[in-house]
């Protein structure tokens, strides 16, 4: 078992990648649907499924071509099983099953969140086990104790909106567009993060759950109260909102690592590309005497390289999925 074809279609990116021995990325192709969903301010599941159907075969062919291999040189197939949009997941999942069956190679369904953790483990200097990992994206915000490549324990998770979802909703409310994370981050660069004191939702400070619906509401309320002036404060609103979210994320991650006596932390997921978050985690970790492990920016968003990497270790351990396996929409055991 050496060369794995990875396929990812959990949300609005159709992705395929070829990875050798779980760490060497031979190719990684991502077909984005941002232009399709931007007019709606978020992902429309039906449109996402249709675009996946159009893109899946060309994306896989391009991944093989860029890797310099033929389909016959694929040793195994790994595909995202969930969580995600069921219709979108089924496109990649069904394609992967058929592809593996046609090639007569083993295949395995991979938890999307486990894939994100592997984006950190694919770095040139991966963290030793165990480590505390913050997985933060548009659909998920959780902290895990990662004890091995297949053993992850949830330490805390969001009780309502994910952090990335809050970015998208605030961006939409301000009329900035989609996806909100990148737009707000760029706008925040020219704003004062301390100009507006938005609330921090700490919940139980001894635990590591999150809640971001309150700050989203607080931003909307600020815009209502300052109806005639907020348009001139967009940069300050963006910076202050981002500051409130990042402070909670970074602080809870460091506290979680302290609680298990672990001097290593990692951040993964789409929001891991946020420069403010990367800087804050690095600063707090340095003060606490911890090492920080961050994925390459290209591996923060949804991609198939991380799925292929996670799949490699599953297949190498003898795990192979049956053809009657199905997708799932919500978080399941890794």
pLDDT score recorded for residue 330: 83
Q: Are 18 and 65 in contact (CB under 8 A)?
A: no
Residues of the chain with CATH 3.30.420.40: 3-116+300-316, 129-294
pLDDT score recorded for residue 204: 84
CATH class of 3-116+300-316: alpha beta
- To the question of whether residue 137 is assigned a binding role by annotation, the answer is yes
Helices marked H in the chain? 34-37, 45-67, 86-103, 112-121, 163-173, 180-188, 213-225, 234-259, 275-287, 305-316
pLDDT tens profile 237-283: 999 999 999 999 999 999 999 999 999 999 999 999 999 999 999 99
- To the question of whether residue 20 is assigned a binding role by annotation, the answer is no
- To the question of whether residue 116 is assigned a binding role by annotation, the answer is yes
Contacts 24+ apart (CB under 8 A), 57-61: 57/95, 58/31, 59/14, 59/15, 59/16, 59/29, 59/30, 59/31, 60/5, 60/7, 60/16, 60/95, 60/99
pLDDT score recorded for residue 333: 52
- To the question of whether residue 136 is assigned a binding role by annotation, the answer is yes
Query: The pTM is what?
Result: 0.94
What superfamily in CATH does domain 129-294 come from? ATPase, nucleotide binding domain (3.30.420.40)
pLDDT score recorded for residue 41: 82
Q: Which residues of the chain have pLDDT under 70?
A: 1, 332-334
Which of 173, 92, 158, 140 minimizes the C-alpha distance to 271? 140
pLDDT score recorded for residue 291: 98
Question: What is the rounded CA–CA span in Å between residue 28 and residue 34?
Answer: 18
- To the question of whether residue 103 is assigned a binding role by annotation, the answer is no
Question: What is the rounded CA–CA span in Å between residue 256 and residue 249?
Answer: 11
Q: Which two tokens stand for residue 256?
A: 């979680």
């Amino acid at each position: 078992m050496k060369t794995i074809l990875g396929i990812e279609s959990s949300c609005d990116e159709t992705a395929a990648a070829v990875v050798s021995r779980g760490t060497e990325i031979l190719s990684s192709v991502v077909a984005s649907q941002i232009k399709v969903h931007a007019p709606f301010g978020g992902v429309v599941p039906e449109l996402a499924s249709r675009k996946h159907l159009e893109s899946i075969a060309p994306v896989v062919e391009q991944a093989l071509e860029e890797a310099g291999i033929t389909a016959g040189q694929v040793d195994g197939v790994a595909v995202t099983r969930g969580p995600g949009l069921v219709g979108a997941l089924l496109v990649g999942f069904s394609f992967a099953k058929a592809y593996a069956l046609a090639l007569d190679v083993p295949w395995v369904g991979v938890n999307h969140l486990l894939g994100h953790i592997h984006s950190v483990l694919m770095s040139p200097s991966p963290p030793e086990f165990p480590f505390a990992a913050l997985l933060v994206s548009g659909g998920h915000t959780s902290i895990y104790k990662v004890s091995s490549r297949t053993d992850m324990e949830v330490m805390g998770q969001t009780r309502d909106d994910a952090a990335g979802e809050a970015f998208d909703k605030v961006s939409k409310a301000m009329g900035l567009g989609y996806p909100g994370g990148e737009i707000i981050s760029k706008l925040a660069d020219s704003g004062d993060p301390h100009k507006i004191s938005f609330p921090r939702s700490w919940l139980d400070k001894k635990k590591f759950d999150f809640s971001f619906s309150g700050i989203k509401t607080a931003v909307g309320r600020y815009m209502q109260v300052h109806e005639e002036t907020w348009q001139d404060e967009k940069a300050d609103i963006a910076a202050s909102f981002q500051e409130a979210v990042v402070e909670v994320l970074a602080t809870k991650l460091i506290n979680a690592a302290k609680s298990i006596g672990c001097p290593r932390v990692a951040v993964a997921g789409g929001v891991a590309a946020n420069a403010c978050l990367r800087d804050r985690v690095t600063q707090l970790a340095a003060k606490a005497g911890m090492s920080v492990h961050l994925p390459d920016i290209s591996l923060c968003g949804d991609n198939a390289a991380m799925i292929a990497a996670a799949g490699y270790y599953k297949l190498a351990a003898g795990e192979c999925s049956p053809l009657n396996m199905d997708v799932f929409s919500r978080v399941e055991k890794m």
